[in-house]
Amino acid sequence: MKFILRTFVIILPVALISFFYIYINDNDYYPGADYRNYDIPQFELTELYSKTNISNEDLEGTYLINVWASWCITCRVEHGFLAKLSNQNIPIIGINYKDEREDAIKWINKFGDPYKLIIHDYKGSLALDMGVTGAPETFLISDGEVLVNYRGEVNNMIWQDVFIPVITKYELFK
């Protein structure tokens, strides 16, 4: 009896910790990353600068969607990395989220524009349909289908660990 108890008090925590260890090291586990595939929702919004209408038809091929706002401090931190991606000829569509048009334009003028085009989502309706919980958030999309979504700041580490495996798997950006 004593022996069983003595081993049990060690085995139980070891089992528990190992479970979590395996769980965390599992490829699928990345807090903030979501690998579910779904089509981007129908929308009808305007472009930030030109105020021309944009809908699903205007988006094609493989690209990133990055949700940002001028009030979002993390977006500023992330901005430098987006510029690098843009320099590697990776198209990025911006969704300007719950922001005043002037504030957003001022922000872009100050920090640079890595975006191919920017959708002005003042009410956050498109973001809501896409399941955005806050800014920043980044989606990898190919032919209208979301392949991976990351909540939070995308930096080199996240790019390598979350996005590159998906890009390699589907052979994108070739």
Residues binding another protein (CB under 8 A) = 2, 5-7, 9-10, 13-14, 17, 19-26, 28-32, 69, 71-74, 76-77, 97-99, 124, 134, 151-152, 157-158
If the CB atoms of residues 91 and 137 are measured against another protein, the closer one turns out to be 137
If the CB atoms of residues 63 and 150 are measured against another protein, the closer one turns out to be 150
Least distance to another protein from the beta carbon of 91, Å?
26
Instruction: Measure Cα distances from 161 to 69, 130, 164 in Å.
Output: 25, 22, 6
If the CB atoms of residues 23 and 145 are measured against another protein, the closer one turns out to be 23
If the CB atoms of residues 89 and 157 are measured against another protein, the closer one turns out to be 157
Instruction: Measure Cα distances from 102 to 50, 86, 96, 108, 122 in Å.
Output: 12, 23, 11, 10, 12
Q: How many Cβ atoms are within 10 Å of 95's Cβ, its own excluded?
A: 27
DSSP state of 163: I
Least distance to another protein from the beta carbon of 111, Å?
9
DSSP state of 162: I
Least distance to another protein from the beta carbon of 37, Å?
13
Least distance to another protein from the beta carbon of 141, Å?
21
Q: For 97, what's the count of Cα atoms within 13 Å in the CB-facing half-sphere? A: 25
